[in-house]
Structure 1
Amino acid sequence: MEYHVKQRKQQQQSLIPLVFMMPSPGKGHLIPMIEFSKKLTKNYDIGVTIIIPSNNPPTEAETTMLRHINHIFLRPVPLSGLPSTTKIELLISHTIHQSLPSIRQTLHSITSSSRHRVTAFVVDLFGTEAFDIASEFNIPSYIFFTSTSMFLSFFFHLPQWKATQCESNGSTELVQIPGCVPIHIKDLADGLKDDEILNVIIQHAKRFKLAQGIIENSFLDLEPGTIKELQKVKPGRPPVYPVGPLVNMVNDQTKMHGNNNDNACLRWLNEQPRGSVLFVCFGSGGTLSSAQIDELALGLEMSEQRFLWVIKNPNDKDSSGSFFNVNNILNDPLNFLPKGFVERTKRKGLVVPNWAPQAQVLAHESIGGFLTHCGWNSILESVVNGVPLIAWPLYAEQKMNAVLITRDMKVGLRPEIGEDGLVEREEIGSVVKRLMEGEEGKKLRYRMKELKEAAIEVVGENGSSTKQIEELALKWKKV
């Protein structure tokens, strides 16, 4: 009997280790997980399968991103039964919850027939309900945290913060997150101000202690105080592995002059002076109102700076309006620009509808600044390319990210919002000019250059992030 048990164990250990990964819906959750997967499969002989919950059939962009990674798209979850006003955090949690039967079926199918042995199940911050399924199959669970270490630190203190808010009747204006600069309550993640969303997030946060570890897409030089605090050994807190920056690294040839002649915006960038162009993009989910598009256009014009602007159709009700909804390509976004704007700015600016290859754009030598919605992936892509920022947060935890990059990392400027809720054209023109021409911009550029060098070092052969990934890989190979 002992011989057969030992033999079976040896057979299992001879199988290739396989890690399951499951992002929440949204490119911002999927992209860093893909980059992490590439490192595991390339350097450590570990198989990876990404299982993807969603609300729609896969897009061409998603299938292209995943073409070199084993992946499974789960059955789409319809959102038709939910109110149109349902917030993004609840839509994501609903999608994961309704996908649990498909997740269980997928794990059962692969674990019962695979030539691999499944050694870890990695979910992102909204996927903790799947821990129970992983436990059924005796698979260790991990969290892949796709946001900042600041937000992760806050997650660990959410129940305590909520209790403090109740005791003070919400009068506490400054929030002190361990290891971070103080944050005004108005800059906390939007969902934390909604009781229903807050309760859902707290339920996820409480499950974090069930994880075997938390994989964090950041690195020590970027958030030193916070990461040092997170790595202190405390009861009920899993070990934290800072493995960032996990971004799509563009080769040196593209950095020099953008070698994709099939893309109009890269060809245009090739003709611009070095460091002269402001890239304006609000991510895959971010949308502006009609009035704000007008102000942004006229502000860019007033700045007299070169710009490349990725514009989408406006949404006057929801700043995350294109996160779950495919942008209406029947309407040309350029039709929503002020009359004559494109003609007046054609010598200094280029407006492209809906999409641009952001990684290649930020790596281009002509780019000198980035006006961003403050999504964490966009910030990290700016860091690895040394591009200073204008922080224009729209939804989710992006206001917290804006505080991080302007007051802690000190690599960005943040425009003031007017009394009417808009960032007005004069403010936009002033901030853009300060970043691209002023002394402030020079200081931010120098600081970003330091972080870029640190980012290159941590992902190098002996870098701290590489060592953290290696530690995880060795642990998973031993399971």
Structure 2
Amino acid sequence: MKQAPPHIAILPSPGVSHQIPFAELARRLVLHHGVHVTIIICSSTDHPPSDATKAVVESLPTPHTRTVFLPPVSFDDLLPTDSGPGAKVALTMSRSLPSIHHVLKSLASTPALTSTSTNSSPPPLVAVFADPFAPDVLDIAKGLDLSTYVFFPSNAMALSFFLHLPKLDEIAAPYDLLKDLPEPVKLPGWPPLRGGDLFGSIQDRRSNTYKRSVQTSKWFVSDEGIKGFVVNSFMDVESEVIKALQEKKAGETVIYPVGPLVQTGQNHEVSECLTWLDNQPRGSVLYVSFGSGGTLSSDQITELAFGLEMSGQRFLWVVRRPNNESANAEYLNSGPKGPLEASDFLPNGFLKRTKGRGLAVPFWAPQAKVLGHGSTGGFLSHCGWNSTLESIVCGVPLIAWPLYAEQKMNAVVLVESLKVALRPKAGEDGLIRREEIAEVIKALMEDTSEEGRIVRNHMKDLKDSATKALSADGSSTRALFELASTLKSMTAN
């Protein structure tokens, strides 16, 4: 009898920033280890699966990957206090649990492949890989006698934060806001972090989001049934944190650093920005983007525009409408609402004055291709982990401009520990002024800048480390092989 290949189900939370690394994990398991993958997509009636989400799952190799789109859940009863993107992501996952249970039960009851099975017969389901936003899925999986894993699409420091959150909660007990902590937070493998640099979405200890996070953290710490934590990172970028995690979980749950998992195979048509980059000098362009959800206030967009102009450097800027209420207002949105005219909210005459030297494109750019283009020499980024890894893989140095989630934590590491980024300073009112922006841009981009030279050299070294981690005998390749071997052993039992 032929041994069946392992079949796993993966459940990313809504939002393309989580779906991309989940899909890339699936791609590598399928192509390099013969694993079969079912990816389960959750959504809501007000945020259906975006075109970007559909493109991500449609790019996966067939026939060994299948996608299940669950019925969208409703938020008609949602209170304003739970209407933020983070709360909506968690609620989308929790309200999808009945549908998730139905799909997993159906997959778990599928008969195993044998030597006489047809190609259309699915392999047996052996494991479930859940997003950290969906801890309840782990109980469903265990009830169906399936092995459970948690995949952190972000880095090892984010995992470490969640595993230490119950202890941090005790330390922070006298304070309502984490930013009010009087002493830096020191955890194994971390640089010292101020309370205000910790996860932005759970700064307020009184919020439902914070309380859910503490409950999830306690679950992760105490649940001995979790077989492993998979992180989108690699040893050289977070060696001390990963070693500390592995020591903490020694003999229990296994830590698998399998990154960098970055988006591949962007099959978009040639875009305006790529054609424009073709006509710029090598390494001369600063790419400016705040990810799939980041937004700036009207005043900050104005300051950034003038800073770019004053710097005298070439730039490619992915522009979104300003939002004065939220730094992640676009996180779950699938695209611009109607035509987006940058001239509507950029300073008068800015586009005309910077024509030829700069290009502002609305809402989206093929980021992987932009960062891999020879004309791109720097990246002003929100420090989301997907963007950070793409920058590392392409060897593009950074200007760190964190907005939300774990991005301030990432920025501290990128600037202070890895020294691959520069960071502009905000004023007392929270605004980063045009003069500061221009100075930092010139420091990164100009050949005569000693600061820029140091950052560029460190990023080149980190790019080499990322390449080595993914090589045939690299640390991430070995970690993925160990994970795949464990999955294959489940089908043999």
- Structure 1 window deviating more from structure 2 (127-136 vs 72-81): it is 72-81
Q: Deviations over 1:137-175 (max 9, x none)?
A: 100000101112112112111111110122588543310
CA–CA distance in structure 2, aligned partners of residues 444 and 158 of structure 1? 32
Structure 1 residue 45 corresponds to structure 2 residue 26: no
Q: Deviations over 1:344-394 (max 9, x none)?
A: 001210000010000000000101100011100000000000001011111
Q: Which residue of 2 aligns with 1:318?
A: 326
Distance change in 2, residues 1:273/1:235 (3 Å): closer
- Structure 1 window deviating more from structure 2 (70-79 vs 334-343): it is 70-79
> TM-score, normalised on structure 1?
0.92
Indicate conservation of the 8 Å contact 1:312/1:333, yes or no.
no
Out of 208, 226, 231, the residue aligned to residue 220 of structure 2 is 208
Q: Deviations over 1:47-68 (max 9, x none)?
A: 0111011223322222121113
In the alignment, structure 1 segments of 5+ residues that lack a partner are 1-10, 252-258
CA–CA distance in structure 2, aligned partners of residues 219 and 262 of structure 1? 32
- Structure 1 window deviating more from structure 2 (418-427 vs 42-51): it is 418-427
Indicate conservation of the 8 Å contact 1:261/1:267, yes or no.
no
1:328 Cα deviation after fit: 3.6
Structure 1 residue 222 corresponds to structure 2 residue 237: yes
Out of 16, 22, 25, the residue aligned to residue 14 of structure 2 is 25
Structure 1 residue 476 corresponds to structure 2 residue 487: yes
Indicate conservation of the 8 Å contact 2:110/2:124, yes or no.
no
1:17 Cα deviation after fit: 1.4
1:457 Cα deviation after fit: 0.8
In the alignment, structure 2 segments of 5+ residues that lack a partner are 112-121
CA–CA distance in structure 2, aligned partners of residues 261 and 124 of structure 1? 31
Aligned residues: 461
Distance change in 2, residues 1:167/1:314 (3 Å): closer
Indicate conservation of the 8 Å contact 2:51/2:334, yes or no.
no
1:14 Cα deviation after fit: 2.8
CA–CA distance in structure 1, aligned partners of residues 75 and 35 of structure 2? 35
Q: After the TM superposition, which parts of structure 1 deviate over 6 Å for at least 4 consecutive aligned residues?
A: none
Structure 1 residue 74 corresponds to structure 2 residue 91: no
CA–CA distance in structure 1, aligned partners of residues 269 and 253 of structure 2? 47
1:87 Cα deviation after fit: 3.0
Percent identical among aligned pairs is 46
CA–CA distance in structure 1, aligned partners of residues 198 and 15 of structure 2? 21
CA–CA distance in structure 1, aligned partners of residues 210 and 341 of structure 2? 34
Written as runs of structure 1 = structure 2, the 5 A alignment for 1:206-285 is 206-209=218-221, 210=223, 211-234=226-249, 238-249=253-264, 262-285=270-293
1:191 Cα deviation after fit: 2.4
Q: Which residue of 1 aligns with 2:116?
A: none
When the two chains are superposed, the root-mean-square deviation of aligned CA atoms in Å is 1.9
Q: Which residue of 1 aligns with 2:211?
A: 199
Q: Which residue of 1 aligns with 2:357?
A: 348
* Equivalent position SS for 2:478: helix
CA–CA distance in structure 2, aligned partners of residues 88 and 236 of structure 1? 37
Match of 1:448, as an amino acid? M
Q: Deviations over 1:52-98 (max 9, x none)?
A: 11223322222121113421111112233223453332221111100
Q: Which residue of 1 aligns with 2:49?
A: 58
Structure with bigger helix share is 1
> TM-score, normalised on structure 2?
0.90
Q: Deviations over 1:286-335 (max 9, x none)?
A: 11111111111111000000000000111110110011234443242402
Q: Which residue of 2 aligns with 1:132?
A: 139
Indicate conservation of the 8 Å contact 1:16/1:46, yes or no.
yes
CA–CA distance in structure 2, aligned partners of residues 426 and 157 of structure 1? 39
Q: Deviations over 1:11-62 (max 9, x none)?
A: 7x83331011001111111101111111111111110111011223322222
Match of 2:289, as an amino acid? C
* Equivalent position SS for 2:424: coil
Distance change in 2, residues 1:246/1:171 (3 Å): closer
CA–CA distance in structure 1, aligned partners of residues 280 and 250 of structure 2? 55
Q: Which residue of 2 aligns with 1:178?
A: 188
Q: Which residue of 2 aligns with 1:154?
A: 161
